[in-house]
């Protein structure tokens, strides 16, 4: 479900936030679905419960999850529609960053496009 990268420059709580949002955006977690409690997730990830709590607070602030006292934490009913839009925005930013990196490496646009096309073919072939 979650895969933390200890070598990442991104703090662990941000990785949890990003991955939870990705799970919602892709439909792996659906509106109304129960998510692990702070204690459960901290035990699964072997991280401090305060780290998971901080991530959950941010996810609640963003409207991705909702906590119901005595019942648990659930994916918010209105979480999914805006999530896909946000992921597209992030994808566009990532593409710009990759294009800039390619330019700094001296690659021609056609070379970068070929690399992207190859990567797409690999992913789509794996799913078939």
pLDDT reported for residue 100: 95
pLDDT reported for residue 97: 93
Mean pLDDT in consecutive groups of 10 residues from the start of the chain, 128 residues:
88 95 87 96 97 97 92 86 72 92 95 93 71
Helix/strand/coil for 103: helix
pLDDT reported for residue 90: 80
Residues 117 and 99 occupy one common structural domain? yes
CA distance 5 to 7: 5
CA distance 61 to 55: 10
Asked if the structure places residue 6 within a domain, the reply is: no
pLDDT reported for residue 111: 95
pLDDT reported for residue 77: 86
Total domains in the chain come to 2
Asked if the structure places residue 60 within a domain, the reply is: yes
Query: Can you state the angle between helices 38-45 and 12-25, rounded to 10 degrees?
Result: 110
- Helix residue ranges, H only, the chain: 12-25, 38-45, 49-61, 79-104, 109-127
Residues 69 and 38 occupy one common structural domain? yes
Asked if the structure places residue 38 within a domain, the reply is: yes
Residues 70 and 91 occupy one common structural domain? no
The domain containing residue 118 runs over which residues?
Answer: 80-127
pLDDT reported for residue 41: 97
pLDDT reported for residue 84: 67
What is each CA distance from 29 to 9, 75, 78, 85, 121, in whole angstroms?
A: 26, 7, 13, 16, 26
């Amino acid at each position: 479900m979650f895969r933390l990268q200890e070598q990442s420059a991104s703090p662990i709580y941000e990785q949890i936030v990003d991955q939870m949002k990705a799970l919602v955006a892709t439909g792996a977690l659906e509106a109304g679905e129960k998510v692990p409690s702070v204690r459960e997730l901290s035990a699964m990830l072997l991280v401090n419960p305060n780290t998971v709590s901080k991530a959950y607070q941010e996810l609640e602030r963003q409207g991705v999850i909702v906590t119901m006292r005595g019942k648990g934490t659930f994916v918010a009913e209105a979480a999914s529609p805006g999530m896909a839009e946000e992921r597209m925005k992030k994808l566009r930013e990532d593409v710009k960053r990759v294009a800039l990196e390619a330019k700094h490496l001296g690659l021609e646009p056609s070379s970068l496009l070929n690399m992207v096309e190859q990567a797409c073919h690999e992913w789509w072939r794996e799913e078939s």
